[in-house]
Amino acid sequence: MPTLLSHNPFRYDRLPDDSAFFDREEEVGRIVKSITKGENLLVRGLRRMGKTSCLLRAARTAANEHNAVTFFADLRRYATLADLAQGLLSNAVPALGSLGARASTWLASTVKGILLKPAAKGSLNSSALGGPDLEVELSLEVKAAPAAVQVRTFTDVLDALNTLAGEQKKPVAVILDEFTFLDEMGLGADKASWQLRSTIQRHQHITYILAASSRHLIDRLHGSEGPFYGMFGRLEVKAIDPVRFSGWIDSQFVLAGITADRIGETCIRLVGERTRDILQLARRCFDLAAPSAAATPTTVEAALASLIEDSDSEFFDLWAPLAPLKKTILRIISDQGGTADFTAATIAPYGLHVSSSIGQACRDLMRMRSTGFDNRTPFILRISEHPAKYTFDNPFFAAWVKRLEQARPYTRNA
């Protein structure tokens, strides 16, 4: 079977290369402009819509084309501000050499509680640091310190980076992805964010780019009563045009010598508009289609079933501990085609009546996360207020619940 592509072109688990990165020129260009022109920017987009890929690609473009230095941290990965500061330092070490031959040594001497230690041989360019390979990390005392100390250490690190940036004739940016996870670090989003605001206001040499997916938290933090009101430009990473996206997906199959019958269109129809979900399904479909060199909507459906089966144990472990009311709520959303309100007419067939317990259960499901479940995404999202409507955050979990419902139907009231 002749193929022009020898590998699966669809990637969702890492930063895509030039051949796999589709669309987003406008978004990436806007972020690059922010980095190079010194304009603080808020980037919003639903999880798995592609905003992190846009941020990282923009950082790479700004470095290659404008000699910019970018420090990046994804707050979803950290439980405390000390962890976040450590993560920022770990990501920063390779870039510190760009801010001066002995930037790491200076940083460690400036911020209390930062230590220098030898790094693995060859992990850094020793000549850039003016000496042996080194890593900077927080001391155990800081990591175990009270929240106020951790906040101060984090802002001290940013202050030090701002000082270093002021000595250079190059753009410097700090990107905090999913910054609203400050709310989960035991400090309260407002408290930490007000301190971050004060730090950002002082800094003249660093551009700050904050990215997040939770609209109501963004509105609270950036609204007229919030700490970041009027401080940031805004960019929303929306869904890629479905016609263009589906056409590109089909073209990747064709380039590999695989006939494609409405593959992109079917992927989008089955899992919704989020970029990563679509690419994940397209990747599995490509693997299933390669042996026969033909892909049809039936192949996409088989790919979805295969992905659900892969996650069966994980999804069951999430489902099993749920209280009966929460399970019923998820089943109602599944029954209603993936989106449901909980008005009297909707819930009556399930033996339920309107009550505060349903609202509380929905709020719990919006907050429930597992580190193993798609990087701490919630079970459901609220997509409208009056009446409140909810949908699954993860389309693969939604499909799993639907399959469970079909396999084990339960009795409803007439």
Higher-scoring residue by pLDDT: 204, 215: 204
Percent of the chain with pLDDT over 70: 83
State residue 19's pLDDT score.
Answer: 58
According to DSSP, the residues that pair with 390 across neighbouring strands are 340, 382
Higher-scoring residue by pLDDT: 102, 342: 342
Decide: residue 91, CB within 10 A, 0-12 exposed, 13-18 middle, 19+ buried: middle
Q: Per-residue pLDDT for 241 more than 50? A: yes
Q: Dihedral of the CA atoms 186, 189, 194, 196 (nearest 10)? A: 80
- Kindly report, residue by residue over 56-74, the tens digit of the pLDDT: 999 999 999 999 999 898 8
Most confident of 223-232, 276-285, 385-394, 402-411: 276-285
**Residue 149 binned pLDDT confidence (cut-offs 50, 70, 90):** confident
Domain ranges of the chain: 25-236, 242-310, 313-407
Higher-scoring residue by pLDDT: 117, 144: 144
Q: What is the rounded CA–CA span in Å between residue 393 and residue 229?
A: 28
State residue 30's pLDDT score.
Answer: 96
Cis peptide before 409 (omega within 30 of 0): no
Q: Per-residue pLDDT for 199 more than 60? A: yes
Least confident of 17-26, 250-259, 345-354, 389-398: 17-26
The CATH architecture to which 25-236 belongs is: 3-Layer(aba) Sandwich (3.40)
State residue 229's pLDDT score.
Answer: 74
Q: What is the rounded CA–CA span in Å between residue 353 and residue 349?
A: 10
State residue 31's pLDDT score.
Answer: 96
Least confident of 225-229, 246-250, 304-308, 387-391: 225-229
User: In the Cβ-directed half-sphere of 8, how many Cα atoms lie within 13 Å?
Assistant: 17
Which tokens belong to 326? 């929460």
State residue 372's pLDDT score.
Answer: 47
Q: Per-residue pLDDT for 130 more than 50? A: no
Averaged over 371-388, what is the pLDDT?
70
Percent of the chain with pLDDT over 90: 44
Averaged over 283-292, what is the pLDDT?
96
Q: What is the rounded CA–CA span in Å between residue 112 and residue 392?
A: 45
Least confident of 12-21, 25-34, 133-142, 228-237: 12-21
State residue 258's pLDDT score.
Answer: 96
Alpha-carbon distances of 283 from 46, 51, 102, 267, 318, rounded to whole Å: 21, 20, 44, 10, 25
According to DSSP, the residues that pair with 242 across neighbouring strands are none
- Kindly report, residue by residue over 322-333, the tens digit of the pLDDT: 999 999 999 999
**Residue 386 binned pLDDT confidence (cut-offs 50, 70, 90):** confident
State residue 124's pLDDT score.
Answer: 41
Averaged over 151-167, what is the pLDDT?
88
On average, the pLDDT of the chain sits at: 83
The pTM score is: 0.78
Q: Per-residue pLDDT for 360 more than 80? A: yes
State residue 127's pLDDT score.
Answer: 39
Asked if CATH classification 1.10.10 holds for the domain at 313-407, the reply, yes or no, is: yes
396: left (phi over 0), alpha (psi -120 to 50) or beta: alpha
Question: For residue 41, which of 171, 217, 33 has the smallest C-alpha distance?
Answer: 33
State residue 232's pLDDT score.
Answer: 87
Q: Per-residue pLDDT for 122 more than 90? A: no
Provide the 3-class DSSP secondary structure of residue 334.
helix
